[in-house]
Amino acid sequence: MAESFPAELLQTLVTSQQPVAPAALTFQLIPTGKHNTSYFVGTGDGELVLRIAPPDDAGFLFYERRMMAQEPEIHALLRERTTVPVARILAYDDSRTLIDRDYLLMERLPGRPLTEVQVTGPLYAHILRQIGGYLRQMHALTAERYGYLGAHHPMEPQTSWGEAFVIMWNLILDDIVASRGYTVEEAAFMRQLLQAYQSCFDRSVPASLLHMDVWHQNILVDAQGTVTGLVDLDRALWGDPEIEFAVLDYCGISEPAFWEGYGRSRDISPEARIRARFYLLYEVQKYIVIRLLRRDDPAGARRYKEQSFALARPLTEGLGRR
């Protein structure tokens, strides 16, 4: 559930960054926000978006702590080197002088979330083709190191994707154990499982910029089906595009039209299928922590735990055939 902030504080956050009269400001809570608390801000001369991070004790995955810090650089990079429709960030404040958490102010993009628009058939395919093209551009941006490279610095950058993913995998398992979603023994099983298949990850792959949260709510479109925005880049990382594809599979984006727009077919080798299952597990297991620490939903956490072990079972069975 989104937090509530007094209007006077919201006005102060905006006017400290933009030359606008407090009396001219209006605020409308964005109901779709699940991590940050966000508002549409009317200024009397256009609209902005104010995003306020959760408090430091909200209960985070390792890469979520102050992850807003990486958004200004990523938005600037995409705006400079691609045609991906991302907002211009006007201000980012991590000083904690006005409020006890980070916040940022950005331009409001046109369009509505795809979750609020009824589109089917050719129009939906048109949207997915655009998403494919935009992600192809994003994935073409590469770095020299792998992992979460942003200013929030949740891990040490690595010189190979295989090394980075091992660190990411173990850190998320640490989070699950700390939230009491797994026992130490259950986490050890998951750690050993990745070790058994490590050779599948030891390959040369570019450190591509990955969005990692492309789903219908984070895609803005207009009435003609033009994609007007890709939002929520705070989970971005640099690594193997196949882990992005696993998130797209999970969110129902990787349909044939998406691949038409992406312009490149995916690897379907046995090794790629193994990687895809681990990548899907990386995505699914995070919800154990989220359900326990931020949603107070132990029943939901148990369902994600059961799903995770069901996903892991074929990997265990496959060990005997390797």
pLDDT digits (tens, 9 = 90+) for 17-60: 999 999 999 999 998 877 899 999 999 889 999 999 999 999 99
Q: Is the whole model's pTM more than 0.85, yes or no? A: yes
- Section 125-138 average pLDDT: 98
Q: How confident is the model at residue 132 (pLDDT cuts 50, 70, 90)?
A: very high
Render pLDDT for 61-75 as a digit per residue (tens, 0 to 9). 999 999 999 999 999
- Section 74-79 average pLDDT: 98
- Section 172-195 average pLDDT: 97
- Section 71-92 average pLDDT: 98
User: How high is the pLDDT of residue 5?
Assistant: 95
User: How high is the pLDDT of residue 197?
Assistant: 96
Neighbouring CB atoms inside 10 A of 310's CB total 10
Tokens of 45: 């001369």
Distances 305 to 183, 245, 285, 311 between C-alpha atoms, Å: 11, 22, 7, 10
Q: What percent of the chain has pLDDT over 90?
A: 93
Rg, the chain, Cα only? 20
CA atoms within 13 A on the CB side of 309: 11
User: How high is the pLDDT of residue 3?
Assistant: 81
Inform me whether the pLDDT recorded for 237 exceeds 70: yes
DSSP one-letter code for 233: -
Inform me whether the pLDDT recorded for 1 exceeds 60: no
Sequence-separated contacts (24+) of 22-29 with Cβ below 8 Å: 29/2
- Section 183-210 average pLDDT: 96
87: nearest Cα among 70, 105, 107? 107
Q: What percent of the chain has pLDDT over 70?
A: 98
173-197 exposure pattern, b = at least 16 Cβ within 10 A, e = fewer: bebbbebebbeeebbeebeebbeeb
Domains of the chain: 7-59+67-109 (3.30.200.20), 113-319 (3.90.1200.10)
d(CA 85, CA 93): 23
User: How high is the pLDDT of residue 221?
Assistant: 97
User: How high is the pLDDT of residue 266?
Assistant: 92
What's the chain's average pLDDT?
95
User: How high is the pLDDT of residue 321?
Assistant: 59
Task: Give the range among 33-37, 76-80, 153-157, 287-291 with minimum mean pLDDT.
Answer: 33-37
Q: How confident is the model at residue 165 (pLDDT cuts 50, 70, 90)?
A: very high
Task: Give the range among 56-60, 75-79, 179-183, 192-196 with minimum mean pLDDT.
Answer: 56-60
Render pLDDT for 276-321 as a digit per residue (tens, 0 to 9). 999 999 999 999 999 999 989 999 999 999 999 999 999 998 676 5
Cβ atoms of 196 and 30 within 8 Å: the answer is no
Cβ atoms of 36 and 58 within 8 Å: the answer is no
Backbone φ and ψ of 278, nearest 5°: -65, -40
- Specify the 3-state DSSP secondary structure of 113: strand
Q: How confident is the model at residue 255 (pLDDT cuts 50, 70, 90)?
A: very high
d(CA 21, CA 289): 42
Please name the amino acid found at residue 156: E
Cα 34 off chain centre by = 12
The set of residues, in sequence order, having a beta carbon less than 8 Å from that of 258 and lying 6+ positions away, is 128, 129, 131, 132, 248
